Each structure stands twice: as C-alpha cells, then as structure tokens.
C-alpha cells in the first residue's frame, strides 16, 4: 500500500491526490498545501508529487500546472521573515515555484527532500524520508510533535508479546513462582475450611475432644507457616528475576542508543533518553514481575473461591458477582481519560529530567550570569506541571475507587443480610457463616485488585511504547553486510559531495577534494561554512547526501564504522573529559595500553608537567566534564588522548584554541612531529597555526572557493588573503 492511502489528508487534499494520480498515471506520494501567491496574497493552493513531476493548483478546482523534474535540477527550501518558498534551478535558470506562510513550512521542507531525490534519479515515497507530525492511522499529532508511536493506536497485544524475549531467559524461576502461587492459593482456600471445622466441631460444641481441637489448631498453624514460607521464597525469587529482567531491558536500550547515529541521538533530549533507560525500564520490570505474576495469583484465587462458593450456595454467589460488570464498565468508560493523563504525566516528567540535565550540565553558565532565581522559577513551573497532572491522575482514580468499593460493598451487605437470616433460622452454622464470609472477602480481593489493572496497564503501556519506539528506531548510519575492517593508509577523496543536516538544506555543496596520505590540509573559512561538517563526514558521523566520499579509493561506507573510527584520532573544538582520573581519560583512546604509553603521549602533548603538579598526578580526579582543569589543560589531555590513538588520520578541530601563546608554540611543535606520516585535517580560525599545512582549503557558502599553499593564496589576494589581513589588523589593534 502506498503511503498516500495511510496519510491523514483533509478531504480537499485527498480529492486533489486522486485527481493528480489520475492525471499522472502514478500515485501521488506526497500532497501538501501552500497559501501565498508571489505577491503575498492569500490563496488555497495545493501541490502534489507524482511520478517524476510536481503538480500544483492555486485552488482545488483550478487547472493543474505541471513541472517535470529534470535530472540534476537543484531544489532549495528558502525561509524568509514570516514565509517560506521552494526555489528551483536548472541549466542556469532559477525560479521560485511555491510560497507559503510558516504554517506549511514543514510540508515544504519534506517536498524539497522528495524533489531532490527525484532529480537524483531515486525512487521516492513519503516513508521514511518524510518527517511526520501526525499518526498516519488516526491523524492525531505525535507526542512532542514527532515520533513513530501513536499512543492512541499502539497495539497493546503486540507490546505484551514483545516482552517475551526479555522474560524468556527467566522462564524457569517464573514457572517456579507460578507453582508457588498455586500452593499459596490452595492454602488460602483451605484456611476457611479449617476455621469452620474449628468453630462448628470444637468451639461451638461443648464436650468436644481436646485432642481434635489441638490437631485443628496445629493444622492451621502449619498452613499459616507454609503459606508464609512459600510467600517469602516467591518474593525473593521474583526480586532476583525482576532485577535480571530490568538489566536486560536497560542493556538493550543503552546498546541501541550507542548504535544510533549522531543525528539519531540528537533527535532526542538527554532527559528523554535518561527517562527511558531508568524510569521506563523500571515500570516495565514492575509490570512483568509484579502485575503479570500477581494477575496469575489473583486469577487462581478468584477461580478457586468462585468454585467453592458455587458449591456452597450458587444463588448467593451470583448475588456477590452482580456488581462486577458495573464496576468494570465504569473503569472501561474512564480508560481514555486515564490514558491521556498518564501520557501527559510521562511527557512532563521527561521535561523535568531534561531541564535538570541542562541546568546541571551548564551550572557554570547559571552561576556566571546569576540566573539561579530564574532557573528556580523554571524548575518550579515544570515541577508544578508534573504535580498538577499527577493530582488529576490521583483525583480521577480516587473518585473511581470509592464508587467501585461502594458497589462491591452493596453485594457484601446483601450477602450478609441473607446468610445472617439463615444463621438465625438455623439453616447455617456459625462456622459455615465464617467460612462463607471469608470466601466473600477473598473473592472481593481479586476484584478490587483488578480495578487497579487499567491504571497499571496504562502506565506500563506508555513506558513500553516509548522503550520499543527507541528499540525500533533505525540507525541513519549502518554498516553494509560486506563491510571490511582493512587497514587504511589515509588517502581521502571528496567526489562532488553535497550534504545537509536537513535534507532540504545543504551545508556542503559539490565538494571535490583529494587529500594524499601524509598531507596536512588546513580548512579555513568563516563560521558556519561547513568546516566541522567536513570532518564529521570523514569520521562517518553522517553519510553524504550526494556524491561519494572515499578512503584509500574505496567508498567510506565499505568500511565498518568501528574499524574506520579506530584509525582516526580527533581533538574536537569542544573538549570533553569523562569524570574520572587524568590517566583514564588519556587511556580512553586505547584500552589496555600501558602506563609508559600514556606517559609518552602526555609528554608529546606537553601535558606531563601540569599533570605532575596535580595532587595525585595521573590519578587526580578531573571532576564533571573536567571542570577541575583549565581550558588549556583539558585541551592538552585531549591532544594526549589523540596521540595515544596513533591514528592514520588525525583531525584537529581548533586544537589550540584554548591555549595561551607560549603553550600554543609547544603544542604546535608537538603536533608538527605528530603529523609526520599521517594524513591531517586541521581547522583553525587562527590562521597562523596553519602555516605549515601542505595545502589550505578555503570554504565559502559550503563550497571550495580557494585551494593552495599559504604563499600561493596570499599572492592571489582572494578570500584567504582577506582573512589573513583582517586577523593581522585585529592583532595590531589588540597590541595597541
């Protein structure tokens, strides 16, 4: 089935899709609206992509206009103040195709993605390239404006079946627990029988033999002891089993996060991921261990007690069961409201986790700007939202439970009325009365427990849906089945490469560059021109949208990600150190290395002297994100980490940005020796640090504007010359 049939179009859009499909002889894969003319007058325009063409009409009933998409055509999404447009360029001719206000901006972005795919000769469909904000089944918006799981349409049976792989390894202890439940339930059903015998045959019967009395007492004690023993064993068993299950789930979720590409991870907030790995997995564990197993026990107890009660008096048993359908109906009628409230509570709790993560990670910024009060107010607002939603949840629940208890109480008091009359009339003994009322209480236990099922099920389904949504997320970067782990020499080639973090907006455009093994290439240009994007592609944190990136003459995608990154050393612009010792942070680049290796790398990076001045030298704790070290010290630890890697390709992204002039000279000397025999790509705003580069590449607006040595580019008086002159002028102003 095509995507169009699943997409929740408006009636007008659906009719337009059918009209375009008939005209094109191919199904419309994407239909969208636009509402501005080129004079910025409002209109009710519709557009659709079908076959290899774009069809549009200023109004649903006007004539269709067709644009065939030629190979190699360039489509751009352009955003202006209050409006957005789709622009088209082919064979040197450019034109604006459609315009809209910001209400349809997302649709325009998706349309540009599909049109680009058509111009590149790729088959297009609205899945998975088109980002959706609404469920294709019911049309409701996804939570937080995006995602793949609709909480209204999620298949609960499917979610429950997917629990099996996590519970299967613990099947034996779970079966033992079920057997213990059988035993406990049998003992619970036996207790009222012993009580009836004790009352009727001994307590209420003067002259009864004391030996029999003590025998019954001993039997009751044995039943109580056995029930307690079995319950303790079952509880210990379930705690161990539950912990094993939650470890499996957390390991699976964490491993999935590690497998996601950088783009995939950044689509989630840190608080969202933490909530899924910690809170949601615990809810899932509680459901498997507590709710599911308790359900088995309650069903056993319910069936056993109902069977005994029917044997004793089927009329009274039916009277007891009459309120049950009404109670279940009340909870069923309120399930949608409870589902909605629990989903809102999940989202608000995730928002609080995200807020806390942001504030604690950026606590220095908070302190520097003195915004503690503002952050307190932000947290108070978020916490109050959680409290308000939680209060609505609890209020709804606390309104339902007394009503359910009242209805069940009616049945209990009706039974008490009838059996009490039977005792008074001599038709039932006191022991039988005690037995019957005990069974009634035992029967209402599972019924009251069942009343909690909608609440627990809703909570569990919400968490499980979020977990499985993450586990089902496909990585943007995947190894090919035949991916190799061969050694690399370090030859790099960009062959007409274009890339954008959003498919509708390229950051790099038609980049062609060849870097030979052992060369040091300096990449320069203004902020935002794509310098860091180039090294992201070399590390394969993203895949190119167009063209080919080759390592040693082979498509970079033919290498496994692990093998490729194992041979690349990186010093990023934003230095990150893990909480731990200086030694562990340097050794992170090469697990299993010796102390001498770390020492050598530290000396090469000019880090050894400052490390030895620390209280515990290499065993000194660097603190959260290395905050106990200065910026220059953190940078030198990062350089030492890259040195220890002994890579074939070295990437330096502003590697000396946080260093003073004296230290920069020492680091530059170390880098110069380090780059010998290695392919090096260096990014720097301080152009003086790139004088020793084999070649310099100047980027402007995502394209290579100039390339050559420092001397060659200075003689051309082009973009690079202008950057150098600007920096020299700034240096003179600073010295003055």
Note the pLDDT tens digit of each residue in 163-208: 888 888 888 888 888 888 888 888 888 888 888 888 878 787 777 7
Query: In whole angstroms, what is the distance from residue 35 CA to residue 373 CA?
Result: 44
Query: In whole angstroms, what is the distance from residue 333 CA to residue 454 CA?
Result: 11
b/e sequence 659-670, b meaning 16+ C-beta within 10 Å = beeebbeebbeb
Q: Quick one: CATH architecture of 162-471? A: Up-down Bundle (1.20)
**Residue in the block written with tokens 């290439």:** 521
Query: In whole angstroms, what is the distance from residue 713 CA to residue 68 CA?
Result: 43
pLDDT category of residue 145 using cuts at 50, 70 and 90: very low
pTM over 0.75: no
Query: In whole angstroms, what is the distance from residue 660 CA to residue 342 CA?
Result: 54
- Residues 503-552: pLDDT tens digits? 778 889 889 999 998 888 989 888 888 888 898 899 888 888 888 999 99
**Which residues make Cβ contacts (< 8 Å) with residue 187, sequence separation at least 6?**
223, 226, 227, 230
The answer on pLDDT for 494 being more than 90 is yes
pLDDT score, position 1: 33
Strand order of the β-sheet with 649-653 is: 568-571, 649-653, 679-683, 520-524, 695-700, 703-708
Are the C-beta atoms of 497 and 508 separated by less than 8 Å? Answer: yes
* Partners of 83 in beta bridges: 80, 101
pLDDT score, position 130: 45
Residue 731, Cβ neighbours under 10 Å: how many? 11
**Can you say whether residue 654 is alpha, beta or left, with left for phi > 0 and alpha for psi between -120 and 50 degrees?**
left
H or E element at residue 514 = strand 508-515
pLDDT score, position 726: 79
CATH number of 575-646: 3.90.1150.10, 3.40.50.300, 3.40.50.1980, 3.30.1330.120? 3.40.50.300
What's the gap between Cα 481 and its chain centre? Answer: 26
Query: In whole angstroms, what is the distance from residue 243 CA to residue 462 CA?
Result: 21
pLDDT score, position 169: 87
pLDDT score, position 537: 92
For residues 446 and 149, the model is more confident at: 446
Best CA proximity match to 466, nearest among 716, 720, 144, 46: 144
Query: In whole angstroms, what is the distance from residue 622 CA to residue 634 CA?
Result: 9
pLDDT score, position 549: 93
pLDDT score, position 578: 84
* Partners of 706 in beta bridges: 698
Residue 447, Cβ neighbours under 10 Å: how many? 19
Best CA proximity match to 142, nearest among 375, 343, 278: 343
Tell me the average pLDDT across 706-720. Answer: 86
pLDDT score, position 732: 63
pLDDT category of residue 103 using cuts at 50, 70 and 90: confident
For residue 132, CA distances in Å to 98, 356, 437, 529 come to 21, 29, 58, 29
CA angle 634, 639, 644 (to 5 degrees): 125
- Torsions phi, psi for 93 (to 5 deg): -95, 130
Query: In whole angstroms, what is the distance from residue 722 CA to residue 524 CA?
Result: 12
- Residues 661-683: pLDDT tens digits? 666 676 677 677 677 778 989 88
The answer on pLDDT for 142 being more than 70 is no
**What DSSP character marks residue 101?**
E
pLDDT category of residue 317 using cuts at 50, 70 and 90: confident
Residue 303, Cβ neighbours under 10 Å: how many? 12
pLDDT category of residue 492 using cuts at 50, 70 and 90: very high
Q: Quick one: CATH architecture of 11-131? A: Roll (2.30)
The answer on pLDDT for 566 being more than 90 is no
| % of the chain surpassing 70 pLDDT | 88
Instruction: Provide the strand spans (E) within 516-556.
Output: 520-524, 546-551, 554-555
Query: In whole angstroms, what is the distance from residue 339 CA to residue 336 CA?
Result: 5
- Residues 389-425: pLDDT tens digits? 878 777 776 777 777 777 776 767 777 777 778 778 7
pLDDT category of residue 3 using cuts at 50, 70 and 90: very low
3 state SS for 581-637: EHHHHHHCCCCCCCHHHHHHHHHHCCCHHHHHCCCCHHHCECCHHHCCCCHHHHHHH
* Residue-by-residue DSSP string for 568-581: EEEE-SS----SSB
pLDDT category of residue 336 using cuts at 50, 70 and 90: low
Tell me the average pLDDT across 343-361. Answer: 76
For residues 731 and 729, the model is more confident at: 729
* Domain residue ranges of the chain, discontinuous segments joined by +: 11-131, 162-471, 485-567+652-660+678-736, 575-646
- Mean per-residue pLDDT over the chain, rounded: 80
Best CA proximity match to 348, nearest among 251, 267, 279, 250: 279
pLDDT score, position 5: 39
The answer on pLDDT for 4 being more than 60 is no
The answer on pLDDT for 151 being more than 60 is no
Encoded tokens for 715: 């003689």
For residues 587 and 275, the model is more confident at: 587
pLDDT score, position 733: 61
- Residues 117-132: pLDDT tens digits? 888 777 776 544 444 5
For residues 129 and 51, the model is more confident at: 51
The answer on pLDDT for 339 being more than 80 is no
The answer on pLDDT for 144 being more than 70 is no
Best CA proximity match to 247, nearest among 176, 172, 166: 166
Query: In whole angstroms, what is the distance from residue 305 CA to residue 317 CA?
Result: 10
The answer on pLDDT for 735 being more than 90 is no
The answer on pLDDT for 482 being more than 90 is no
Class for the domain spanning 485-567+652-660+678-736: alpha beta
Q: Do domains 11-131 and 575-646 have the same CATH topology?
A: no
b/e sequence 621-651, b meaning 16+ C-beta within 10 Å = ebeebbeebeebbbbbbbbbbbbbbbbbbbb
The answer on pLDDT for 433 being more than 90 is no
């Amino acid at each position: 089935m095509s995507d169009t049939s699943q997409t929740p179009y408006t009636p007008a859009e659906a009719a337009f899709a059918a009209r375009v499909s008939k005209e094109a002889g191919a199904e419309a894969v994407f239909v969208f609206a636009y509402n501005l003319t080129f004079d910025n007058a409002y209109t009710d325009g519709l557009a659709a992509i079908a076959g290899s063409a774009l069809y549009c009409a200023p109004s649903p009933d006007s004539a269709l206009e067709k644009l065939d998409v030629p190979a190699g055509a360039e489509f751009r999404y352009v955003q202006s103040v209050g409006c957005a447009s789709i622009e088209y360029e082919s064979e040197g001719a450019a034109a604006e195709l459609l315009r809209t206000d910001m209400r349809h901006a997302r649709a325009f972005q998706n349309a540009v993605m599909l049109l680009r795919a058509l111009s590149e000769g790729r088959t297009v469909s609205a899945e998975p390239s088109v980002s959706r904000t609404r469920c294709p089944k019911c049309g409701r918006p996804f939570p937080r404006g995006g995602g793949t799981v609709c909480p209204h349409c999620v298949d609960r049976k499917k979610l429950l079946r997917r629990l099996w792989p996590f519970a299967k390894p613990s099947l034996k202890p779970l079966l033992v627990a079920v057997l213990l439940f059988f035993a406990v339930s049998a003992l619970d059903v036996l207790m009222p029988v012993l009580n009836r015998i004790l009352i009727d045959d001994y307590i209420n019967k003067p002259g009864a033999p004391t030996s029999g009395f003590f025998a019954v007492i001993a039997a009751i004690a044995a039943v109580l002891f056995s029930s307690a023993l079995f319950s303790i064993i079952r509880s210990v068993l379930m705690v161990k089993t539950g912990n094993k299950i939650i470890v499996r789930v957390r390991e699976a979720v964490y491993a999935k996060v590690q497998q996601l590409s950088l783009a995939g991870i950044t689509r989630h907030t840190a608080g969202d991921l933490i909530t899924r790995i910690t809170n949601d997995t615990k809810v899932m564990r509680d459901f498997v261990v507590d709710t599911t197993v308790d359900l088995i026990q309650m069903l056993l107890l319910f069936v056993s007690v109902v069977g005994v009660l029917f044997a004793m008096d089927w009329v009274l048993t039916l009277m007891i069961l009459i309120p049950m359908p009404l109670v279940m109906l009340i909870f069923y009628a309120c399930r949608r409201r409870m589902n909605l409230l629990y989903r809102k509570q999940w989202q608000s709790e995730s928002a609080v986790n995200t807020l806390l993560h942001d504030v604690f990670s950026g606590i220095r910024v908070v302190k520097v700007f003195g915004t503690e009060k503002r952050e307190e107010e932000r947290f108070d607002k978020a916490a109050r939202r959680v409290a308000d939603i939680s209060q609505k949840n609890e209020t709804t629940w606390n309104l339902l439970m007394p009503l359910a208890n009242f209805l069940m109480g009616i049945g209990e008091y009706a039974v008490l009325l009838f059996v009490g009359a039977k005792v008074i009339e001599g038709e039932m003994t006191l022991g039988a009365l005690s037995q019957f009322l005990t069974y009634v209480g035992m029967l209402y236990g599972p019924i009251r427990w069942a009343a909690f099922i909608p609440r627990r099920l809703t909570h569990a389904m919400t968490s499980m849906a979020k977990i499985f949504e993450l586990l089902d997320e496909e990585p943007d970067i995947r190894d090919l089945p035949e991916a190799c782990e061969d050694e690399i020499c370090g030859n790099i080639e960009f062959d007409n490469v274009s890339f954008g973090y959003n498919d509708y907006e390229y950051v790099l455009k038609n980049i062609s560059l060849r870097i030979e093994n052992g060369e040091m290439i300096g990449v320069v240009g203004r902020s935002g021109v794509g310098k860091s994007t180039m090294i992201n592609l070399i590390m394969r944190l993203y895949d190119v949208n167009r063209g080919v990136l080759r390592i040693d003459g082979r498509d970079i995608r033919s290498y496994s990600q692990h093998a490729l990154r194992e041979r690349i050393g990186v010093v990023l612009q934003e230095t990150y150190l893990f909480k731990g010792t200086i030694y562990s942070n340097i050794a992170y680049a090469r697990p299993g290395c010796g102390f001498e290796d770390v020492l050598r790398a530290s000396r090469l990076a000019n880090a050894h002297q400052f490390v030895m001045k620390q209280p515990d030298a290499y065993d000194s704790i660097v603190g959260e994100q290395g905050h106990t070290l200065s910026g220059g010290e953190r940078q030198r630890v990062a350089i030492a980490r890259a040195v220890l890697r002994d890579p074939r390709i070295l990437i330096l992204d502003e590697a000396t940005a946080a260093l003073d002039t004296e230290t920069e000279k020492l680091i530059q000397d170390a880098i110069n020796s380090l780059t010998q025999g290695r392919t090096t790509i260096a990014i720097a705003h301080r152009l003086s640090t790139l004088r020793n580069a084999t070649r310099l590449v100047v980027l402007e607006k995502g394209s290579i504007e100039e390339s050559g040595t420092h001397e060659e580019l200075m003689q051309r008086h082009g973009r690079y010359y202008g950057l150098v002159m600007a920096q020299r002028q700034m240096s003179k102003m600073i010295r003055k």
